[in-house]
């Protein structure tokens, strides 16, 4: 269908459109027009991805000079693949409608591990190994050495690509990871470098968050992307944590020991080189005297970690004289390491700010701030000069040097916490130095500054105003869209009491209470009897789940539940969990139904969808607050309060509620889906918690469904499920990918939550649509 | 688990090279280090240097007892280097503003580093010492002058630390004051209750109830005050004027408010509807909206409509 969005012709590859999709595109178009940033919330399963893609592609075609590139960031490889598939569908629709060949180049980019086609390298198991091995074959100086000594091993794919691949650009089309690999194999070119080279002129790039947010990777991959790009962060509800993780450094005793070994290797290599090839060190020295103007030639293949967001003015300056020669620098690193070791030899927790740390380090070992700031850059240069092939070995010292640079560059937004032992095991000495970032805006700032439009979107972004504040940017559009439904297919219920009127809550004081645990068990038991197919239950933490399941077992509740359904449990082990998931799905498929016990913030809650019969009910046991005793969290809360005026409680509740919403949102993955959402904690009934749920859930949470007892819940659920089970038709032409059985005929939805082109153009529908967007 | 064990051993491995006591066997073992960078434990030092001076057991350098320091680092060479470095930096204390350009300053820094390196690794010790002495003689004035001065970086650091301290102090004082104030308020209300019970003729139960009410009010007030955070500024420098509450508005279920459009008497000709402005041609005379304006929901009709309202109202105002 062809749409007219405020004068922009948009090709939409389906025959029907949801009203909120139209509204979403409208807001998006305005954001692009204004060349600003946007925060958009739309429920999962309403076709966010295709709306985004079709509008931005249309915009690109219409104004090729205004928007040259779309950078679509997603979280996991399966999600990336899904986006590429949608894009492929859109492109096919374009060529069918316009009849001409498309000249848009779209590709996915992932790590070497997912893209390598070299028979030996790609068989390695871990990403780090693949990177290291690849680097030892393709680094520029290794290839230079090969000129004199051709017997050294090489990667023929890279050589071939280097010789041929750069002359002709990648032909237009849509490439997912497998397409790239196929193409690479056919041509004999390295798909990874081909993709990295091609993103410079591609129209659409789909890759992971880290390629933009992690300063070490972003500097290599995304540095040269055009300013006139539109950046989309999909599933962005966790973006602040990604930002923080990418800037934080944890140093343990083991890191230090490994760095010590690294330093010794460096020292020996320097001595050796001094005897054999002193000119090389002299050359480096000369370069450093001149300043850090980088030679761009070698940059492409040398994946030496680059400096995390080093301000440009420092790059222009020359390296301070005290670390200019190689020996002096190694001595400097030695002193720094010894200092860190001494700091880790403590018996009580220390928390200090960056300036305090810098002052102390000057007093103890006479290290100034300035050389520290150049540390990462200096190490990079040294490693390159010494021509050390396997940089995976040097990750420890690189980490230390990154820490040095960060601690001396930022005086605000970071805190240093040294803990002599873990909280859980106070008797075992295991000192850790956390250099933790508290301000997510530091990592994301370059993105907001560089690109003209950045769109942050997800199914759960409520409350909307908090994201612009913690990421410190000014959006031009902030909007939340609800789901228009032909029937109320979600049923959120807040269960507050058991049948014995004991309040149900995971509050710390009462969570071990026998009555609470029993009531939780009863709730699960009752639900297992009435809900068909799959039930997913989320707990607040692994330890809590363990405790509860153990006492359920003792009380015989588990046995009773197992009469109705099979039970599967998520564990911290990834392999075990995926096994459990597989069996869970099998059990749901063959009709018996199953229960999956999992954990909020775990793997299941973040990435697994429970469409249709895989999840007819989600039970959230308790409010998933983070572990508030951790010092890092405390420091972050303090920082938020001082810098952004966000109260501790507000942030904690916000964080808990976004995870709760993520969990319960797993069950509804489209308009034809239906599911119960049971919040089993009386605290959910309070306005401050309830108000932080996304609007599309809040809408259906009436006063009648608050603070229920278990039998009331059962009553309401039965009613809801019976209603939903009516009218089974079959439709195949739905625009969200759902191939399972559908309980809702298309005619029912048409005109209400599914629109044809004619309906879309009618006057009163347009007015209705205008109301969907809830301007925050 | 094996690496853990080896690690523990490594940490306990440190020991006195003379009497072979290790930290593992004697947890209170204190290692000392002198200018030559060789370790001895405290008891050995006491025994060997009874007369106040002697030679190093390992390198035979003449040492004084008073120069022994507690070993801070695992590698005694670093202790030695830091010692030397501090000495050297006392003499070579030129700051970056003593040089005309950065290049010279960096060259100077490198020279200093060279000296420290030579002294630590016992390379050309005599020659280096001579250079140092010569430098000291030549630059006596500058050295004296710079003794009290800090480098620019250090000054910045000091400033930051000061700020941090002030902030902490202020926060502490504020909370203290707040507590004091609350305590006083509570005491006052208690006193008031006693006074009233003494004088008033109202039954005591009512008075007590009133007091309870007041106390509750006070409590909520205090709560509210606690929540009001002091306004500071964003890290970007944008001032934050208000505390923003994150609560969405509660939905009221009881009686719905019925909106009745206000009938305004404009004393003027009827103003055309917003939707009709374009058709009637009014919009041709207004600046079209920029894309930046449109994103926020603005369109040129709004401004035009307002301007027409302004222009039309009061035209037919009845006299008198």
- Residues A607-619: tens digit of each pLDDT: 788 888 888 999 9
Looking at residue B233, what is its pLDDT? Answer: 55
Answer whether residue A308 shows pLDDT above 50.
no
Handedness of CA A533, A538, A542, A545 (dihedral sign): negative
Higher pLDDT, B174 or A292: B174
Residues whose CB is less than 8 angstroms from the CB of residue A244 and which lie 6 or more positions away in sequence, other chains included: A436, A437, A438, A440, A443, A636
Answer whether residue A562 shows pLDDT above 70.
yes
Which of A93, A8, A109, A7 shows the shortest CA–CA distance to A50?
A: A93
Answer whether residue B30 shows pLDDT above 70.
yes
- Determine how β-strand B53-55 pairs with β-strand B62-64: antiparallel
R_g of chain A computed on alpha carbons = 28
Confidence of residue B2 (pLDDT cuts 50, 70, 90): very low
Average confidence score pLDDT of chain A: 84
Cα(A304)–Cα(A395) distance, rounded to whole angstroms?
9
Helix, strand, coil percent content, chain A, rounded in steps of 5: 55, 15, 35
Q: Interior CA angle at A483 toward A480 and A485, to 5°?
A: 160
Tens digits of per-residue pLDDT, B73-116? 888 888 888 888 888 888 888 887 788 888 888 888 888 888 88
The edge-to-edge listing of strands for the beta sheet with B69-70 is: B39-41, B31-33, B69-70
Confidence of residue A717 (pLDDT cuts 50, 70, 90): very high
Range in A420-434, A493-507, A674-688 the model is least confident about: A420-434
Higher pLDDT, A652 or B298: A652
Looking at residue A435, what is its pLDDT? Answer: 92
Residues of B in contact with A439 (CB under 8 A): 235
CA A16 and chain centroid, separation: 31
Tell me, what DSSP letter sits at residue A591?
T
Tens digits of per-residue pLDDT, B219-272? 777 666 655 545 455 555 555 544 444 555 555 567 777 888 887 777 888 888
Residues of B in contact with A318 (CB under 8 A): 102-103, 106
Answer whether residue A539 shows pLDDT above 90.
yes
- Give first-to-last CA distance, chain B, whole Å: 99
Residues of A in contact with B106 (CB under 8 A): 289, 318-321, 324
Interface test with A, best of B27, B73, B162 (most A CBs within 10 A): B73
Give the gap in angstroms from C-alpha A640 to the nearest C-alpha of chain B. 10
Tens digits of per-residue pLDDT, A46-98? 888 899 999 999 999 889 888 889 999 988 888 899 899 999 999 999 888 88
Looking at residue A302, what is its pLDDT? Answer: 43
Answer whether residue A735 shows pLDDT above 90.
no
Interface test with A, best of B2, B157, B230 (most A CBs within 10 A): B157
A257 touches chain B (CB under 8 A): yes
Which of A572, A573, A569 shows the shortest CA–CA distance to A594?
A: A569
Query: Does the distance separating the beta carbons of B86 and A463 come in below 8 Å?
Result: no
Tens digits of per-residue pLDDT, A415-463? 999 988 877 777 778 889 999 998 888 888 888 888 889 999 988 887 8
A699 touches chain B (CB under 8 A): no
Range in A217-226, A595-604, B177-186 the model is least confident about: A217-226
Give CA separation, A459 vs A43, A665, A731, in Å. 4, 8, 25
Whether A22 and A3 have beta carbons less than 8 Å apart is answered as: yes
Whether A131 and A123 have beta carbons less than 8 Å apart is answered as: no
Name the A residues in 40-79 with CB < 8 Å from any B CB: none
């Amino acid at each position: 269908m062809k749409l007219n969005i405020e004068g922009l012709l948009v090709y939409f590859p389906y025959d029907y459109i949801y009203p909120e999709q139209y509204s979403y595109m409208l807001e998006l178009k305005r954001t692009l027009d204004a060349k600003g940033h946007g925060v958009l919330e739309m429920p999962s399963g309403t076709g966010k991805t295709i709306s985004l893609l079709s509008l931005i592609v249309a915009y690109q075609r219409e104004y090729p000079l205004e928007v040259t590139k779309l950078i679509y960031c997603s979280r996991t490889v399966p999600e990336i693949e899904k986006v590429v598939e949608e894009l492929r569908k859109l492109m096919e629709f374009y060529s069918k409608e316009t009849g001409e060949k498309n000249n848009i180049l779209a590709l996915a980019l992932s790590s070497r591990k997912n893209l390598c086609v070299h028979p030996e390298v790609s068989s390695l198991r871990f990403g780090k190994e693949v990177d290291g091995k690849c680097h030892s074959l393709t680094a520029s100086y290794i290839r230079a050495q090969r000129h004199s000594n051709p017997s050294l091993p090489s990667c023929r794919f890279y050589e071939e690509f280097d010789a041929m691949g750069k002359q002709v650009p990648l032909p237009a089309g849509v490439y997912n990871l497998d397409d790239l690999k196929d193409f690479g194999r056919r041509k004999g070119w390295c798909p990874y470098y081909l993709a990295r080279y091609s993103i410079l002129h591609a129209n659409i790039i789909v890759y992971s968050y880290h390629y933009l947010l992690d300063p070490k990777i972003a500097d290599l991959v995304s540095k040269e992307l055009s300013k006139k790009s539109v950046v989309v962060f999909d599933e962005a509800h966790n973006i602040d944590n990604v930002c923080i993780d990418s800037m934080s450094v944890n140093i343990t005793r083991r890191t230090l020991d490994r760095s010590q070994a690294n330093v010794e290797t460096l020292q020996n290599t320097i001595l050796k080189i001094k005897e054999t090839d002193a000119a090389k060190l002299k050359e480096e020295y000369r370069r450093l005297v001149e300043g850090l103007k980088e030679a761009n030639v070698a940059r492409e293949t040398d994946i030496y970690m680059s400096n995390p967001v080093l301000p440009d003015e420092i790059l222009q300056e020359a390296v301070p004289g005290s670390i200019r020669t190689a020996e002096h620098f190694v001595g400097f690193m030695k002193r720094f390491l010894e200092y860190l070791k001494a700091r880790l030899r403590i018996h009580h927790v220390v928390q200090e700010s960056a300036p305090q740390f810098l002052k102390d380090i000057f007093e103890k070992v006479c290290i100034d701030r300035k050389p520290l700031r150049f540390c990462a850059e200096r190490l990079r240069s040294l490693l390159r000069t010494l021509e050390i092939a396997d940089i995976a070995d040097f990750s420890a010292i690189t980490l230390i040097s990154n820490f040095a640079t960060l601690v001396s560059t930022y005086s605000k937004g970071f805190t240093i916490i040294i803990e002599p032992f873990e909280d859980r095991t106070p008797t075992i000495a295991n000192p850790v130095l956390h250099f933790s970032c508290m301000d997510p805006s530091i990592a994301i700032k370059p993105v907001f500054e560089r690109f003209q439009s950045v769109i942050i979107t997800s199914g759960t972004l409520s409350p909307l105003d908090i994201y612009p504040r913690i990421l410190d940017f000014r959006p031009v559009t902030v909007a939340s869209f609800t789901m228009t439904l032909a029937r109320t297919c979600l049923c959120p219920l807040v269960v507050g009491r058991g049948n014995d009127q004991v309040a149900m809550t995971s509050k710390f004081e009462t969570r071990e209470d026998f009555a609470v645990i029993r009531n939780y068990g009863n709730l699960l038991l009752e639900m297992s009897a009435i809900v068909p197919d799959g039930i997913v239950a989320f707990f607040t933490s692994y330890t809590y789940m363990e405790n509860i399941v153990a006492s359920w077992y003792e009380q015989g509740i588990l046995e009773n539940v197992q009469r109705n359904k099979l039970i599967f449990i998520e564990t911290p082990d990834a392999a075990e969990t995926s096994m459990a998931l597989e069996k869970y799905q099998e059990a749901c498929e063959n009709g018996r139904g199953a229960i999956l016990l999992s954990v909020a913030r775990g793997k299941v809650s973040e990435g697994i969808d429970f469409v249709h019969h895989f999840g007819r009910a989600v039970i959230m046991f308790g409010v998933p607050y983070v572990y508030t005793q951790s010092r890092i969290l405390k420091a972050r809360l303090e920082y938020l309060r001082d810098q952004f005026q966000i109260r501790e409680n507000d942030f904690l509740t916000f964080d808990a509620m976004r995870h709760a919403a993520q969990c319960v949102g797993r069950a509804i993955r489209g308009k034809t889906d239906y599911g119960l959402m049971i919040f089993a904690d009386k605290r959910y009934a309070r306005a401050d918690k309830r108000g932080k749920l996304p609007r599309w859930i809040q809408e259906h949470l009436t006063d009648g469904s608050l603070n229920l007892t278990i039998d009331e819940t059962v009553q309401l659920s039965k009613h809801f499920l019976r209603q939903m089970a009516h009218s089974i038709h079959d439709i195949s032409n739905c625009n969200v990918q759902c191939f399972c059985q559908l309980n809702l005929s298309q005619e029912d939805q048409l005109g209400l939550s599914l629109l044809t082109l004619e309906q879309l153009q009618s006057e009163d529908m347009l007015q209705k649509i205008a109301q969907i967007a809830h301007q925050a | 688990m094996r690496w853990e064990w080896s690690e523990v051993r490594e940490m306990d491995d440190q020991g006195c090279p003379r009497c072979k006591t290790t930290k593992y066997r004697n947890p209170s073992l204190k290692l000392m280090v002198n200018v030559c960078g060789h370790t001895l434990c405290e008891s050995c030092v006491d025994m060997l240097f009874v007369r106040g001076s002697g030679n190093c057991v390992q390198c035979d350098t003449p040492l004084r007892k008073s120069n022994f320091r507690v070993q801070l680092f695992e590698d005694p060479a670093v202790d030695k280097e830091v010692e030397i470095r501090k000495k050297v930096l006392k003499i070579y204390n030129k700051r970056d503003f003593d040089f005309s350009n950065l290049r010279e300053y960096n060259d100077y820094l490198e020279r200093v580093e060279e000296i420290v390196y030579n002294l630590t690794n016992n390379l050309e010790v005599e020659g280096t010492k001579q250079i140092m002495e010569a430098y000291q003689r030549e630059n006596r004035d500058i050295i004296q002058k710079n003794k009290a001065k800090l480098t620019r970086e250090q000054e910045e650091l000091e400033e930051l630390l000061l700020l941090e301290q002030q902030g902490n102090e202020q926060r502490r004082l504020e909370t203290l004051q707040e507590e004091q104030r609350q305590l006083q308020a509570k005491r006052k209300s208690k006193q008031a209750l006693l006074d009233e019970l003494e004088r008033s003729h109202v039954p005591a139960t009512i008075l007590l109830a009133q007091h309870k009410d007041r106390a509750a009010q006070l409590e909520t007030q205090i709560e509210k005050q606690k929540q009001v955070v002091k306004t500071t500024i964003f890290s970007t420098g944008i001032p934050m004027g208000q505390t923003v509450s994150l609560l969405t508005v509660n939905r009221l279920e009881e009686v719905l408010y019925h909106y009745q459009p206000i009938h305004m008497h404009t004393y003027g000709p009827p103003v055309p509807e917003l939707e009709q402005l374009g058709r009637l041609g009014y919009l041709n005379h207004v600046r079209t909206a920029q894309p930046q304006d449109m994103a926020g929901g603005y369109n040129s009709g709004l401004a035009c409509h307002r301007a027409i309202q302004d222009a039309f109202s009061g035209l037919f105002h009845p006299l008198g």
